[in-house]
Amino acid sequence: MPSPAVKPQRQAPKAPTERTLSFVDAVREAAELEMARDPNVLVFGLDVDDPKAIQGTTRGLVEKFGPERCFGTPLSEDAMTGAAIGMALAGLRPVHVHIRMDFLLLAMNQLLNVAAKSRYMYGGRVNVPLVVRAMIGKSWGQGAQHSQGLHGMFMHVPGIKVVAPATPYDAKGCLAAAIRDDNPVLYVEHRLLHFTKGPVPEAAYTVEPGKARITRRGADVTLVGISSMQVECLRAAAYLEAIGIDAEVIDPIWLSPLDMDTICESVERTGRLIVVDTAWTNCGAAAEITAQVAERLQGIRDLRLKRMGFAPTTCPTAPNLEDLFYPNARTVAAAARDLVEERACGWLPAERADLKSIEFKGPF
């Protein structure tokens, strides 16, 4: 039987204004358009004005808008986050870039006790329109303190929004929406997504909070893929299609606020759910989504539920250990088959070279 190609939902010819951009270029373009639209928008952080320009996501901004609106900062996360909050309270719209999410831990008091709560504590008389770009990743050997996905910690706290775009289209639209939002927003970027490509309209647009997207229609099992795990879920769906299992794939996009209606409607149809996160499963995004599905659908639908994410240990550095630590398309597909057939099948699909890279296809 020939191997089917990955078919994200709703493929269509590109509109005349659509171009194919990388995730990196989509982030850069969103920042550039927002800085041009609103003089109060500024971008700063460690190495944003470095020649490497944060993987290229800040390239050209200092030349176009000047060092007053795009500048590098000392390695001082707590102090610079405090400065960012002060700027936001004073009416600016700062975008604070953190090369790694791990170091947000140094600024948690600023983010969760000040940024997230000021609007409430001052009776709505102040806004904190702050965007924190925070990157997570793997596979470049930096292990325990440079690879963590901590977005679940921020989902726990009211007052701060969390978004984890997985496509170039959403990277641009979500960053624009985050910059225009009057509340603090944690914008999560996975480095493995940075060089994925997909259609991105040239004009400015927003992808507003609280709406998930079905990226592949299916009837047998629902796969929710967070951040880079969206790619793995689409690949898993292709493995499953080859054995006759029809998976529906959902990209939640915004993790807080979370669009549970779209996820629950899917699970009510399929009866089976796997949430795959690029983080630990304990008390994380996968746990929250699974719990809400169970609360809403218990007594309505017979359910089979599963979470997948990091293994319950610190992030390793060795590639052979990383293979065991992170979910991948093959392990997601194997778990989905077990869920659908309600038995341990002992099946692991052979790796397919045609699924190693995915270009996202719209329209969105």
CB 334 within 8 A of CB 347: yes
In a domain, 4, yes or no: no
Burial label, 310 (beta-carbon count in 10 A; 0-12, 13-18, 19+): buried
In a domain, 160, yes or no: yes
> Distance between CA atoms of 3 and 232, rounded to whole angstroms?
17
Do 80 and 103 share a domain, yes or no? yes
> Distance between CA atoms of 88 and 44, rounded to whole angstroms?
13
User: How many C-beta atoms surround the C-beta of residue 208 within 10 A?
Assistant: 14
Burial label, 168 (beta-carbon count in 10 A; 0-12, 13-18, 19+): buried
> Distance between CA atoms of 86 and 11, rounded to whole angstroms?
44
The C-alpha angle with vertex 232 and arms to 227 and 237, in degrees rounded to 5, equals: 125
In a domain, 41, yes or no: yes
The predicted pLDDT at position 317 comes to 85
Per-residue pLDDT of the chain (364 residues; tens, 9 = 90+): 344 444 444 444 455 556 999 999 999 999 999 999 999 999 999 989 988 898 899 999 999 999 999 999 988 899 999 999 999 999 999 999 998 899 999 999 999 999 999 999 999 999 999 999 999 987 666 788 888 999 999 999 999 999 999 999 999 999 999 999 999 999 999 988 998 999 999 999 999 999 999 999 999 999 999 999 999 999 999 999 999 999 999 999 999 999 999 999 999 999 999 999 999 999 999 999 999 999 999 999 999 999 999 999 999 988 889 889 999 999 999 999 999 999 999 999 999 888 776 656 654 4
The residue from 148, 169, 199 where one domain ends is 199
Do 182 and 267 share a domain, yes or no? no
CB 42 within 8 A of CB 94: yes
Q: Is the bond into 257 cis (omega within 30 degrees of 0)?
A: yes
What is the number of structural domains in the chain? 2
The predicted pLDDT at position 259 comes to 98
> Distance between CA atoms of 93 and 84, rounded to whole angstroms?
9
Do 274 and 186 share a domain, yes or no? no
Do 133 and 257 share a domain, yes or no? no
The predicted pLDDT at position 80 comes to 95
Do 107 and 190 share a domain, yes or no? yes
Do 195 and 231 share a domain, yes or no? no
Q: Is the sign of the CA dihedral 46, 51, 57, 63 positive or negative?
A: positive
Burial label, 155 (beta-carbon count in 10 A; 0-12, 13-18, 19+): buried
Do 172 and 316 share a domain, yes or no? no
The residue from 164, 199, 234 where one domain ends is 199
The predicted pLDDT at position 78 comes to 93
Beta-strand ranges (E) seen in 106-208 are 131-136, 161-163, 185-190, 197-201
The predicted pLDDT at position 12 comes to 46
Q: What is the CATH number of the domain that holds 43?
A: 3.40.50.970
In a domain, 231, yes or no: yes
Q: What is the CATH number of the domain that holds 221?
A: 3.40.50.920
List, by residue number, the catalytic residues: 77, 146
Do 88 and 148 share a domain, yes or no? yes
Burial label, 203 (beta-carbon count in 10 A; 0-12, 13-18, 19+): exposed
Do 234 and 138 share a domain, yes or no? no
In a domain, 79, yes or no: yes
In a domain, 158, yes or no: yes
Distances, alpha carbon 212 to alpha carbons 46, 64, 71, 169, 251, in Å = 32, 34, 34, 14, 6
Q: Beginning with the edge strand found earlier in the chain, give each strand of the sheet holding 254-256 in spatial order.
A: 70-72, 41-45, 93-98, 131-136, 185-190, 161-163, 254-256
* Residue span of the structural domain in which 308 resides: 213-345
Do 59 and 192 share a domain, yes or no? yes
In a domain, 218, yes or no: yes
Do 192 and 332 share a domain, yes or no? no
In a domain, 194, yes or no: yes
> Distance between CA atoms of 256 and 304, rounded to whole angstroms?
24
The residue from 176, 199, 222 where one domain ends is 199
- Give one word for 50, left, alpha or beta, with left for phi > 0 and alpha for psi -120 to 50: beta
| Residue 119 backbone dihedrals phi, psi, to 5 degrees | -60, -40
User: How many C-beta atoms surround the C-beta of residue 318 within 10 A?
Assistant: 11
Do 174 and 220 share a domain, yes or no? no
